[in-house]
Structure formats: structure tokens, C-alpha cells
Structure 1
Amino acid sequence: MPEFHLRQLPVECRPLLNKFYRAHRSHMRVPAGACCWVAENTEIAAGLCVARIAEGRWLTGLLVAPNQRNQGLATRLVGRALAAGEGAVWLFCEPKLILFYQRLGFSEPATLPESLAARLQRYNRNKTLVALWHENKRAVCPLPF
């Protein structure tokens, strides 16, 4: 199994993550101003973005290349992104991924910030997504780094 390096992409390398998304026929794109994280060896094998919102941060665009799945890359990458900051982290996911995120400490929120509630309502016109959040207090973050 190859060794993967987890790192935050410099701003000038963000187009590489968009290229990775396109190569895997994903509609995901790097949001303006987002912090991007990747797992790579000779090329990007997984990526995600974390954008600031008024209520904390919004995790989006988590994608692992199909031939690299089931190796713990998503878990490691989310853990690294959470460790890089403190405060609530929100995300939207397909219902089949809820258990994955719950194992990482995410849960369904009692309320959803207005900026995200409107976005989720818009997204749910075309597909079913569920909002999750992580309190993300560094001292109790259960994720491996």
C-alpha cells in the first residue's frame, strides 16, 4: 500500500484539486476562499475543501479516487482538516454516508445556520442531502492524525 502525504494545498495549486474533481467526473469545485486539503503520493488521491462561514466552517468536496477507497484516506483527511482549526464544522452528505461521518464525531444539528439552511433547501430540490455538524473542540477531537 502506498504512503500518502496529507497537506494543505497552497493557493496557487488549487486548480490541481479542480482537475482531480473533473478527472473523476465530479461536479465538485473549489469554493472561492476555501482552504483545500489533499492526500497524495505521486498524484492527488483524495481532496476536500473547508470554507469559512459566519457560524464556523463548511466542509465540502470530499472525494477519494475510486481505486484508493477503503484505505482510511477520507478519515485521515477529514481529521487533518478538523485539526487545522477550532469551532463548528458543517457539511452536507448523502444519507448513505451518515454513519461514516458519525464515526468521525459528526451528528445531526438541532438547528442549521440560516446561510446553510437556504443552501441545503436549494440542493435538496435535485437530490437528498443531510446536514451534519462537528463541534470540533480540539481537546476532545477523536480523529487520528
Structure 2
Amino acid sequence: MRVDRRAQVWVAQRTEIVAALCLRPITGGHWLSGLFVAPTQRRQRLARQLIEQALTQASEPVWLFCDPELQNFYANLGFLPCSSLPTALAERLSRYRRKRNLIALCR
């Protein structure tokens, strides 16, 4: 996960970091640009806990891109499909879609 200096990074730690989330500020809100959970730690609600904790601080919209198979996971956290994105994110999504099937969600 690449992190720029303006981003907020949230981590879950046991004896080592087992999950991380990155929120990058953008015009009009934040972009959830990265979410990682160690394979051995998955299905323990770490991703859900990180997202819920990080978004308690976010008063503006939060956008993310994900594989369509993850839409239900994010929907359970209040994210909905969005057709309107800030210009910088719309351009980025267009580039990413050249290589992967991604959808944009917003909360």
C-alpha cells in the first residue's frame, strides 16, 4: 500500500501489523485508497473495525473503488454505488478500469 504524506493511516496490530487502511484527502471528501488484511487474519472483522473507526472521523463523503465481488461487503458498511465522482477520482477510475473491472462506491 502506497501512502502519501497527507493520508491518514489506520492499523490493527497484534504482535505485528495485521491490517491497514489508508484515507487520502481529496477535494470534497476522502478516498479510501487502500485496505489490507493479512491473509491469516481475514474473516475476523478487522477490515470492518478499521473502516468503522476511520469513518467516525470523516464528516465528508468517502469514495472507494473495489472489485464487484466486494460490493456487498461495503454495502453492509453503508457504501452505495456512485455515478458521480470528483474529477481526479473519475480520471483515476477510468485509468484503473483499463486493466481491472472496478466499481466506485460512496458513503
TM-score (normalizing by structure 2): 0.95
Unpaired stretches in structure 1, ≥5 consecutive residues: 1-27, 135-145
Higher normalized strand content (fraction of residues):
2
Tell me if the contact between 2:83 and 2:104 (Cα under 8 Å) persists in the aligned partners: no
Q: Is the 8 A contact 1:90 1:131 kept in 2?
A: yes
Q: Which runs of 5+ in 2 are unaligned?
A: none
Query: Aligned letter for 1:70?
Result: R
State the TM-score, normalized to the length of structure 1: 0.71
CA RMSD of aligned residues (A): 0.9
* 1:60 to partner: Cα distance: 1.5
Q: Is 1:122 matched with 2:95?
A: yes
- Paired residue total: 107
Q: How does 1:1-145 map to 2 (within 5 A)?
A: 28-134=1-107
Contact 1:31 1:49 (8 Å CA) reproduced: no
Q: Which one has a larger percent helix, Structure 1 or Structure 2?
A: 1
SS in 1 for 2:106: strand
- Give the whole-Å Cα distance in 2 for the aligned partners of 1:126 and 1:89: 23
For 1:115 and 1:99, the matched residues in 2 are separated by 25
Which has the bigger relative contact order, CA under 8 A and spacing at least 6? 2
Aligned equivalents of 2:91, 2:49: Cα separation in 1: 30
Quote the sequence identity (%): 50
